[in-house]
Amino acid sequence: MIKRPSSIKEETAFDLDGDHGPAVLTVTEISALMKRIVEEEFGRVRVQGEISGFKRAASGHLYFKLKDDKAVLDGICWRGTAERLGVSPEDGMEVVVAGRLTTYPARSNYQIVVDSLAIAGEGALLKLLEDRRKKLAAEGLFDLEAKKDLPFLPDVIGVVTSESGAVFRDILHRLDDRFPRHVLLWPVTVQGKNAATEITAAINGFNALGKKSKVPRPDVLIVARGGGSLEDLMAFNEESVVRAAYASTIPLISAVGHEADTTLIDFAADQRAPTPSAAAEMAVPVRADLITQVEDDGARLTGAVNRVVVDGRGRLDGLARGLPDLGRLVEDFIQRLDDWTERLGNAVRGGMHSRHVVLAGLAATIPKPQQRLKHAQSQLKREARALKAAGKSILGENRQALKQTSALMESYSYQRVLERGFVLVADGKDKPVVSVVNLSPGLDVTMRFHDGKAGATVNTINGGIRRRKKKPPAKRKPDPGDDPQGSLL
């Protein structure tokens, strides 16, 4: 039995079959040995490189390669860790990853198991954002035609921001100053690994509210946070947040950072506010200005109505002076109505009389129903007698034809032939024998006469006993030895 070395340093201390040299290891053993050495020598490491060949497996695990201008390192990120990453990896992204080195014996390569990932440098981050902006713009997420108008005076305002920051208090304070409204807060973390997921869930959650929900559905949404660095605002640049803002059926105002800060959600939102306070100003008008405007409009409307009434009254008085005497006009129409009423009564009576005369004449020409019924009954009786006579005649003719056909079939019967002295010969299976070819000596046959049957045995055929012909013997091939001349060979 050969003892395996516990490390590479011990390999020279083994001898195999008396030969001085390293021990023989299986592929599995050397792969396990390499795996142990790599994992022991390299604990946790941080590596910077460019992502290429990125793919997300159906299981949720991430596979990619980290490369620079001279080397390539395989990387893997398990599903549980991938869900906690603050950045969505993409090909061409310059990143710094942290994890542990290990080997994959099935392919004889080494790889890093990533447990954290970050963008390497602000320049790479800006390039990532620009590439993502172009991609989403090409899909139409930033088109002006898709923007929705904000309601003039919303009843409910939904706010997506941190509940512990000053942003929400600024929004409430500004709304109280301008026009107090019902405000719903969906608290989220505005930076970190889970920020993008929570913001996306908040926007989708507000949109999922219906008319029958216990929580009222907002008429407008404000997604806000205070200022910060580019890395701090990365949650609002995530693709899931931008797509949620674009898909929102509720008009959405983006108020992320200060006026100089720009995030991708600003392009997908229906309105972009430079600050959270400005977003509150966009959401509602100033109540005092509305009251002043309403009072001013009311005064102007009252004055306009008074002027219309005064002008109308003057015009009415002028028109009334030009009208004729209504009493005389009515008297003429009353007299004309009486005249037409009298003429109408006479016309109705004359028309009724003439129509009565015409109706009486038409009634005299109509025959009585009793007479028509008697005539139809007599005609029906005649038809019935004729039908009965025709039926008897046809039945007699058919009965005579049937008798003639039966007599003809009886004359063609083979029984009549047997009565004239003929015999029907049948074999043992009671099948008629129609030819002497079907007979053979010794065959039992049945002879049927017109008054019974009789059995017989065939003795001769055509006057003699029928015999089978013997086959001629097969000709034998001549043997060279039978040749009387002999063989010269």
Phi/psi for 333 (5° steps) reads -70, -35
Average pLDDT over residues 34-43: 83
Domain-located, residue 360: no
Write down which residue in 261, 288, 315 finishes a domain. Answer: 288
Q: How far is CA 427 from the centre of its chain?
A: 78
Tell me: do 107 and 148 sit in the same domain: no
Mean of pLDDT over the chain: 83
Here the tokens at position 21 are 């040299």
Tell me: do 184 and 54 sit in the same domain: no
Tell me: do 153 and 274 sit in the same domain: yes
Tell me: do 152 and 270 sit in the same domain: yes
Give the residue numbers spanning the domain of 226: 143-288
Write down which residue in 237, 256, 288 finishes a domain. Answer: 288
CATH number of the CATH domain containing 279: 3.40.50.2300
Q: At what angle do helices 166-178 and 276-283 cross, to 10 degrees?
A: 30
What is each CA distance from 362 to 4, 276, 366, 424, 486, in whole angstroms? Answer: 133, 96, 7, 88, 140
Q: How far is CA 255 from the centre of its chain?
A: 38
Domain-located, residue 214: yes
**The 220-225 sheet, strands edge to edge:** 182-187, 156-161, 220-225, 252-256, 271-272
What is each CA distance from 346 to 313, 349, 351, 352, 355, in whole angstroms? Answer: 49, 5, 9, 10, 14
- Residues 82, 62: Cα–Cα separation, whole Å: 7
Residue 145 CB coordination number (10 Å): 5
Going 460 to 463 to 465 to 470, the CA torsion angle's sign is negative
pLDDT in tens, 166-212: 899 999 999 999 999 999 999 999 988 789 999 999 999 999 998 88
Residue 223 confidence (pLDDT) above 90: yes
Q: Looking up tokens 């549980």, which residue turns up?
A: 80
Name the band, by pLDDT with cuts 50, 70 and 90, for residue 11: very low
Confidence at residue 19, expressed as pLDDT on a 0 to 100 scale: 53
Tell me: do 101 and 148 sit in the same domain: no
Q: How far is CA 415 from the centre of its chain?
A: 81
Q: Based on the structure, what is the number of domains in the chain? A: 3
Q: Which of 218-222, 346-350, 442-446, 447-451 has the highest mean pLDDT?
A: 218-222
Domain-located, residue 267: yes
Q: Which of 237, 170, 227 is nearest to 199 (CA)?
A: 237
Tell me: do 43 and 168 sit in the same domain: no
Q: Looking up tokens 């899931």, which residue turns up?
A: 240
Tell me whether residue 147 is exposed, middle or buried, using C-beta atoms within 10 angstroms of its C-beta: 0 to 12, 13 to 18, 19 or more. Answer: middle
Confidence at residue 4, expressed as pLDDT on a 0 to 100 scale: 44
Confirm if 252 and 192 have CB atoms less than 8 A apart.
Answer: no
pLDDT in tens, 464-481: 444 444 455 555 555 555
Confirm if 159 and 283 have CB atoms less than 8 A apart.
Answer: no
Domain-located, residue 57: yes
Top-confidence residue, 392 or 4: 392
Residue 16 confidence (pLDDT) above 50: no
Residue 273 confidence (pLDDT) above 80: yes
Tell me whether residue 65 is exposed, middle or buried, using C-beta atoms within 10 angstroms of its C-beta: 0 to 12, 13 to 18, 19 or more. Answer: middle
Phi/psi for 272 (5° steps) reads -120, 125
Write down which residue in 234, 253, 288 finishes a domain. Answer: 288
Least-confidence region, from 2-6, 29-33, 149-153, 442-446: 2-6
Residue 458 confidence (pLDDT) above 90: no
Least-confidence region, from 115-119, 141-145, 435-439, 466-470: 466-470
Confidence at residue 479, expressed as pLDDT on a 0 to 100 scale: 54
Tell me: do 119 and 149 sit in the same domain: no
**Backbone φ/ψ region at 388: left (φ over 0), alpha (ψ -120 to 50), beta:** alpha
Confirm if 282 and 270 have CB atoms less than 8 A apart.
Answer: no
Here the tokens at position 127 are 């390039």
